[in-house]
Amino acid sequence: MTFDVPLLTIDGPGGAGKGTISSLIAERLGWHLLDSGALYRLTAHAAVKHGVALDNEVALAELAAQLDVAFPVEEGQPRTLLEGEDVSQAIRTEQAGERASQVAALPKVREALFQRQRDFCRLPGLVADGRDMGTVVFPEAQLKIFLTASAEERAHRRYQQLQEAGVDASLSSLLKEIQARDARDTQRSVAPLKPADDAITLDTTCLSIPEVVDRLTDLLAQRGMASGI
């Protein structure tokens, strides 16, 4: 990979809005999108499906290296397929997120998925969403963003999403889960969650989605990474 490919990385903790913002930016620019978190969620989901323990690092790494996954877009809506099965909703539960965080802390699993993530970088450009995109996977990215928000705000956003989906949830439990995941992600020995040295940190606690998209679009334009936006 070279600098000939425009590359934007968006890292940050769960619930900061990375997925939504990344999708909107990629759609606006017509770039490819890498949801790196989905790969870890898929690995954890496949492990449960095939009876692999979430602390069996060697077996999980082998599973990650051979994942049969696809991310088709139908009628403008992205889908996530694992072994031909649509698991778009199944891998987005709180439990799936917890499992993914456990799996992501294992060095051999991260190694197995490293090149698969790098392969997403191709013309006309890539928006890479994750927790170590700017620090580990794409350190050469021309623009690196660290998107964050208070744990309370992130828990509230997730609570609202679940309520709108008709799912009962406890705001206090969601907050505890987010705080536990933050601690695990920031304290792990391999690729801990942190801003890259040259990243721009953007706190979305008091910002709307359109406001964040506009700010990132302006930054891309200022750096000459995208024309006509």
- Interacting residues of 49 by C-beta distance below 8 A, sequence separation 6+: 82
Q: Judge whether 15 is annotated as a binding position.
A: yes
Q: Judge whether 19 is annotated as a binding position.
A: yes
Q: Judge whether 224 is annotated as a binding position.
A: no
Q: Judge whether 9 is annotated as a binding position.
A: no
Q: Judge whether 108 is annotated as a binding position.
A: no
Burial (CB < 10 A; 0-12, 13-18, 19+), residue 127, is buried
List of E strands, 27-125: 32-35, 69-70, 73-74, 77-78, 81-82, 85-86
Task: Determine the Cα–Cα distance for residues 121 and 128; give it in Å rounded to an integer.
Answer: 9
Q: Judge whether 14 is annotated as a binding position.
A: yes
| Residue labelled with tokens 């889908």 | 79
DSSP single-letter state for residue 66: T
Q: Judge whether 97 is annotated as a binding position.
A: no
Q: Judge whether 13 is annotated as a binding position.
A: yes
For the annotated binding site for ATP, the residues are: 12-20
For the annotated binding site, the residues are: 12-20
